[in-house]
A and B are shown apart, each in its own frame.
Chain A
Amino acid sequence: MTTRTIEVNALARVEGEGALYVRTEGDRVAEVKLRIYEPPRFFEGFLVGRDFREVPDITARICGICPVAYQMGASQAMEQICGVSLDGTLEDLRRLIYCGEWLESHGLHVFMLHLPDFLGYPDGITMARDYPELVRNGLRIKKIGNALMRLVGGREVHPVNLKLGGFYRAPTPAEVAALREDLAWGLEATAEALEFLAGLEFPDFEMDYEFVSLVHPDEYPILHGRIGSSSGLDAPVEDYDRIFTESHVIHSNALHSHLSDSGRPAVMGPMARFALNRERLTPRAAALADKAGLGAVCRNPFKSILVRMVEIAFAFEEALRLVDVYRAPTRPAVDMTPRAGTGYGATEAPRGICYHRYTLDDDGIIQDAKIVAPTSVNQPSIEADLHGFVQANLDLPDDQLRHRCEQAIRNYDPCISCATHFLDLTMDRG
């Protein structure tokens, strides 16, 4: 029996450090491993013993791409414990900066990390020589995301203007209005780029996913919602730990997650949000999704690039709406007094649900912390995709198959550094 191995020892165009190992025996895939060897980062451990007000600044450091997701989830959990809620204007500002994060993250991934796979280039720089306008527009889309982050968050990366209960300083209406022109440009540029992307060739490959995302009755989910799934799950965020079971696999420094009831892996992120919330997309984004040929649900992971692009259009459209209704809040933040308790927070990071749970004592000192990044939840699905794709394409020569496998991983825009959360490390050395 012939044994083939496909190995990529250091994955490129993903955030963080990971490797891929596939072994086939004869005409069957015997083993697939997405090896995440980036060391664990122990953020949950650092947080224990710290003051509750420190969480937005500490958790922001988990990721340079999606810091807002961590800041928001952590803040929501603390606000829940302290019994505080934010008024509409402050919630809108949070949604606005979150749109900036989606634009930054999706913009970079679509144009610089994912698109080269489809157009046959080793990287975005080489691709830029032949597609300068596309890359230039992609960079500008990302830059508009940066501008949103800078205005509301104080700076582009690891924002410093976010605090529990709101912000240190709220932008003036004039500052917010100044974003309008760029946002309007971005929406048009996105529509144009999506038309191009819809014409790409996609491998004929679909999976029967269990999609999980936040679901909100009135809006495409970013900051709020219940946990929903394609098999009808509908539960409050507080049930997260019951819904998912985390387990350690030896080849990854990021805990794997499975749905506790079915034992199935889940898919989070753009495809899941789209599948469960399509009818709540903003009008233009919904029309663009139609035009791009995306049906009610997209089960081809290679087409996630189209869904991401639709979400970029949504983020521009939503940011435009928020900019237009903005008025300065009466105060930039709500005061918080600590009390003992356990609180939960979950928001839609660019890659899916980012879940937080904290327990405080009477003085607001953190007793326990749990943070789950969507990439860690997506790991088993990435491996299932690889298994399915390799099985269906065993006739491809090694180099082509290897390339397609890398692309299958990049379909998820995995943020490996975020994913390496660890609660307990148990080493079994036989």
Chain B
Amino acid sequence: MTPTFRGAAAFILVAAAVTAYSSIFTVTERGRALVVRFGEILRIVDDPGLNFKIPFVDEVVAIDKRLVFLENQNKSVQVIDSRRYLVDAITMYRVVDSRKFREAVQANFDVADRRIGARVDAALRETYGKRTFQAALSEERAAMMREIRDQVRSETKELGVELTDVRIRRTDLPQDVLEQTYSRMQAERKAEAEQIRAIGNQQALTLMAKADRDYTVTLAESQRDGEIARGQGDAERNRIFAEVFQQDPEFFAFYRSMKAYEAALKGSDTTYVLRPDSQFFGYFNSETAAPAAPAQ
């Protein structure tokens, strides 16, 4: 074998390999392939597997057929009462018509994203523009997502794209409204705090007032019971005295008077001006004088 022959053999081998390699292509589960010859779409391969093409002439364009999504971020939309929301929307779509997709957006997902995004944007504004602030925030959210999807879906058909879903990811307040919201929340909490304090105060005062009332009532009741007991004592005393003194009322009067004089008049600061002819001094002037005797 001469070096020339070897070189030629090697060249042929390599050329054959390159030709073979460029005449086959695989389509995977992830996508489809367009076989393009001089810019014209010859055929579309939908199913995964091994396929053949004319080497160096046919070009293969792969198109992902999986679900993809794009985000519309921070779109300022206005609702009926001219208040504003900041909205993020997510659009899910997949390519269903590869030919249209190639023709409309050159099989370029970035271009497709821009076109679809612009339409979602417009649909967002329109859909929010029909709602009130509150409805857009909560109860009609699901309906709005369907509405946007249906609106954009018909428009994106021409791109060879099927719109699976549009989801509203965020519905937020613009910065200035956000601050208002914060101060409103603060004011609400402060009011709540004041209310709690007021209720606490009221409860405390009520408790104390009731305690004072109970105190007064309890004392009054005990006083009442005390008076009753004293009354009973007095009654008993009267009964005892009456029983005993009944035996001789006249003597009792005398006896009690004597005791009373003794108790009432005893004391050194009293000055008595006496006449010696009083009964007590019956024997003061004469040893036979009439004896001093109490009445009777």
A and B co-occur in one complex: no
Chain A residues within CB distance 8 Å of chain B: none
Interface residues of B (CB under 8 A from A): none
